Chains A and B, each alone.
Chain A
Amino acid sequence: MIKRIPLAWLNLTHDRRRFATSLAGVGFAVLLMFMFNGFMNALYDSQLQLLNRFNGEIIIVNRLRTNMFVPRAFARRRLYQARAFDGVQDAYAMYISEVNWKNPETRKSRGVRVIAINPDEPVLNIPEIETYQQLLKLPETALMDTKSRVEVGPVEPGIISELADRRIRLVGTFTMGTDFASGNGNLLMSDQNFLRYFADRGPEEDKRSFATVDIGVVKLEPGTNVERMVNVLRENLPNDVLVMARDGDNGFVIRERNYWQENTNIGFVFSLLTSMGFFVGIILVYQILYTDVADHWAEYATLKAMGYKNGYLLGVVMQEAMIISVLGFIPGVLVSQLLYTAAGNATGLFFQMTPERIVNLLIATFIMCLVSGAIAVRKVQTTDPADVF
């Protein structure tokens, strides 16, 4: 018995240049799927960037606030009530409002979201809050998100502009990203400054005060059971507020994601485009394998004449399919990563390549190549050695 020859590998690498083209072909199909899939995930993930920075295990919101868009606040008393329970370390208030920011260069106004907190409290996992803690306590100062849309103008410390028709000075920046509810960007300021801008904006706007809070973030003592605490708070707080765990299947973050999944066509649009990318991939890979089979037709026929069964030939082609699917996937992922970075910079959306998504698409690529291989091999199987020579 002769040593088994890695026929598939040799077939593929025989012509180096074509091998490279084949890998590029698979890479393109991978890129296409990653792109459309990436857009879909980015649109969803972007909605959660603020939520994922809440520094607490339990979130309290007004019962009417079904998503971050609904501007409904609740009484701050509820946070004081929550603090009384064993296991609760602290309960922080966050104030949110949407208002016009004037681009200091073009003098055009654009809506931004203002997030206000007490700078002495760790409400958000944004390290820059601590860095600029003292500056944020000065009147009429704020931090601007560096990922704000270009429409807000330059984002750097020292910029002086207008917010809600009132002077404001940027003392620093932080990095988060925009979502559907954030308008053109995020501005972070102290709760004291929030009052300066929003306590009285004239007769046609609602007046804001510390009496009502937009989001309550509850920090638990280390080791406290989150689920049990959620139930305790739910039972004891009046039902004008909704108490939810931040994470988990019934959590606040998932609820926000589900809202956008159920209420927009994002999923449909990009799933359709991704699946079409898959079919394009099948065609690309089929072309590659078919050309290879056609070129080695005589050899395959010889093998058959020597007594090799169709199953063996099928095995060879399938091996080729698997090799190019894995090897083509690697450049595909790398190029997609570059594309994600570029698209993220251009749109401010949050493009994220998680291991789970990579594995999912690797499996899709694998299936894509196997399907193509199965179609391409039919030609060999029907080969009659006598016809070839």
Chain B
Amino acid sequence: MARISVAWSNLMHERTRLGVAIAGVAFAVILIFMNLGFMGALIATATNFYEQFNAELFLISPETLEISTSTAFPRERLYQVAGVDGVGRIMPLYSEYLLWRNPETGVSRAIFVYGINPNDPAFLMPELQGSEARRILSQPDTVFIDRLSRPEFGPQDIGTTTEADRRRATIGGSYALGGGFAADGTLIMSDQNFVRYLEPRPLSLVNVGLVKLAPDASPEKVADTMRSLLPADVVVYTKAGIIDHDSAYWLESTSIGFIFSMGVVVSFVVGAVIVYQILFTDIRDHLPEYATMKAMGYRSQYLFKIVLQEAVLLAILGYVPGLAAALGLYHLTATATAGTLPVAMNGGRVLFVLVLTLLMCSLSGLISVRKAVTADPAEIF
């Protein structure tokens, strides 16, 4: 108790400087949170549409890097696993980019298209359930459009007629899915329409094979059985597995991972420099006191402890407002980008950054304490 109070009093002695120190740590914390938040949001947007896929297992070609750069595989592979114990239903999913014309401006943009058999419950969105939705989907040249598509694609009202790749298209309904990282917008249409628009694509080649399991089947076990049956031209993933697969692609094969990791590292270093300056000045100002303590018989270890305590206090005092401000900035970001960058806090990140902050402050403390430790009481006075 007595020890803490030395560290505490040292810090509290000069209020303004303490305030600046806290602000410095807080800003470093915010910077780290923002970099991690942006990275997390980008990865989340890139994969969170998988949550709306009504399947436990996913079959893709080993050449598929992520959903929008997929290589199609033979539909027979799906039939091969249809009889495996525990499989409830197999559903082929076709995907491709298509040029969608904004009926108001006349400008065309690439939109990402999913083709499904209208009788397959491939997606979980409520608008696509029921016989009425099936009926609309089955109509020729009729599509459902993603309400989260960018506004540049034009109006999304039911009945809007426009052109998709030189062919008439009518909007028969809408849903909310999100296009991830690779697509500005998405469409869902029947497999028959898919063939019409994306000729010469045949239906015998599937982009993603969706497997809905029987209610009590274990995804892992069924996946293992499938792997032993299937040739090497398809791979089987669970839902968590395919999300990891796509995330890894975006992190490693694009510069996203590099850019924001570097942001975290540099923010960490800057934070450490700020804390070092504070502690160093503090030690220099109290050098006579430290020397007196040493002359009185306190060991260097004791001084170490005081400085480390100051460092940890700074870390905590800076972390709390930093976290609060980061939460505010997350909210601001999500609002300012109209939901396209859904930065959100999670428990793991809160802990991770706290550990980083403690590490950052302790590190600076250890570097700055050398001066106090080497102080010779005789020289000070």
| A interface residues, Cβ below 8 angstroms from B | 21, 24-25, 28-29, 31-32, 35-36, 39, 43, 64, 66, 69-70, 72, 100, 108-111, 149, 151, 183-184, 203-206, 263, 265, 268-269, 272-273, 276-277, 279-280, 283-284, 286-288, 290-291, 343, 346-349, 379
Contact = CB atoms under 8 A, between A and B. Distances in A.
Contact of A70 (B20, B63, B108): B108
B235 interface: no
Interface string B22-36: 011001101100110
B248 to A, nearest CB: 13
Interface of B: 16-17, 20-21, 23-24, 27-28, 30-31, 34-35, 38, 63, 65, 69, 71-72, 99, 107-110, 150, 152, 184, 200-202, 205, 253, 255, 258-259, 262-263, 266-267, 269-270, 273-274, 277-278, 280-281, 329, 333, 336-337, 340-341
Given A66-B107, A100-B63, A284-B277, A32 B150 contact: no
Given A66-B108, A290-B17, A343-B258, A32 B99 contact: no
Contacts of B31: 32, 273, 276-277, 280
Given A72-B99, A272-B34, A283 B23 contact: yes
A28 to B, nearest CB: 5
A287 B110 contact: no
A293 B110 CA distance: 60
27 contacts: A21-B280, A25-B273, A32-B267, A39-B263, A64-B108, A66-B107, A70-B99, A70-B109, A108-B63, A151-B253, A183-B69, A204-B201, A265-B340, A265-B341, A268-B333, A268-B341, A273-B34, A273-B38, A280-B24, A283-B20, A283-B24, A287-B17, A287-B20, A287-B274, A290-B20, A291-B277, A349-B255
Contacts of B200: 203-206
Contact of A28 (B20, B202, B273, B278): B273
Contacts of B341: 265, 268-269
Q: Is the interface of A mostly helix, strand, loop or mixed?
A: helix
Contacts of B24: 280, 283-284, 287
Contacts of A288: 277
B262 A343 contact: yes
Nearest to A288: B277
Contacts of B71: 100, 109
B96 to A, nearest CB: 10
CB-CB nearest 3 A-B residue pairs: A347-B255, A283-B24, A280-B27
B277 A287 contact: yes
Contact of A273 (B65, B108, B263): B263
A21 B277 contact: yes
A347 B16 contact: no
Contacts of A25: 273, 277
A261 to B, nearest CB: 13
B38 to A, nearest CB: 5
Given A204-B202, A291-B281, A347 B258 contact: yes
Contacts of A32: 31, 266-267, 270
Given A109-B63, A287-B274, A276 B337 contact: no
Nearest to A27: B273
Nearest to B69: A111
Contacts of A284: 24, 270, 273-274, 277
A279 B280 CA distance: 22
Contacts of B280: 21
Contacts, number: 121
Query: Which of B24, B28, B152 lies at the interface centre, i.e. has the most chain A CB atoms within 10 A of its CB?
Result: B24
A38 B202 CA distance: 45
Contacts of A265: 337, 340-341
Given A263-B184, A291-B281, A36 B263 contact: yes
B274 A31 contact: no
Contact of B16 (A183, A276, A290): A290
Given A25-B273, A32-B270, A204-B200, A286 B20 contact: yes
A66 to B, nearest CB: 6
Contacts of A206: 200
Contacts of A291: 277, 281
Contacts of B333: 268, 272
B317 to A, nearest CB: 14
Nearest to A279: B27
B41 to A, nearest CB: 9
Contacts of B253: 149, 151, 184
Nearest to A262: B152
A376 B336 CA distance: 34
A206 B337 CA distance: 37
Contacts of A343: 258-259, 262
A291 B205 CA distance: 70
A50 B109 CA distance: 21
Contacts of A287: 17, 20-21, 24, 274, 277-278, 281
A272 B20 contact: no
B87 to A, nearest CB: 27
B337 A268 contact: yes
Contact of A29 (B34, B108, B258, B270): B270
Given A31-B266, A39-B259, A286-B20, 18 more contacts: A28-B270, A32-B267, A32-B270, A35-B262, A39-B263, A268-B336, A269-B341, A272-B34, A273-B38, A280-B28, A284-B274, A287-B20, A287-B21, A287-B281, A288-B277, A291-B277, A343-B259, A348-B255
- Residue with the highest number of chain A CB atoms closer than 10 Å, among B152, B253, B340: B253
A79 to B, nearest CB: 22
A269 B38 contact: yes
Nearest to B270: A28
Contacts of A35: 262-263, 266
Contact of A64 (B16, B20, B99, B267): B99
Nearest to A36: B263
A204 B273 contact: no
A284 B108 CA distance: 49
Contact of A66 (B109, B329, B337): B109
A283 B99 contact: no
Contact of A347 (B23, B201, B259): B259
A21 to B, nearest CB: 7
Contact of A272 (B99, B150, B258, B329): B329
Contacts of A269: 38, 341
A120 to B, nearest CB: 34
A205 B205 CA distance: 12
